Amino acid sequence: FDDDTVVKMHQKQVAVRGTADVYSGMYKRNFTEENAELRITTNEKRQPILTINGLSVPDWCEQKWQQLIHRNRSQRL
């Protein structure tokens, strides 16, 4: 996203749709989702927080990891 889009997302808390492609150091892999809802909100300390489909980035990565694990287990059965 360009700078103007990021400023608009933050100031007006407008969501945009796009591809989320995030590297997680915890899981040592990239997670990607097309047509994800990206939004910048603020936490209780009024700090900006990026959310993907309503989840914080760490929570979104955890969700994607669980989906990956579940899919891999289903394929083995």
Domain count, the chain: 1
C-beta separation of 35 from 17 below 8 A = yes
Enclosing domain of residue 25? 3-76
pLDDT in tens, 20-69: 999 999 999 999 999 999 999 988 999 999 999 999 999 999 999 999 99
pTM, to two decimals: 0.85
Q: How confident is the model at residue 13 (pLDDT cuts 50, 70, 90)?
A: confident
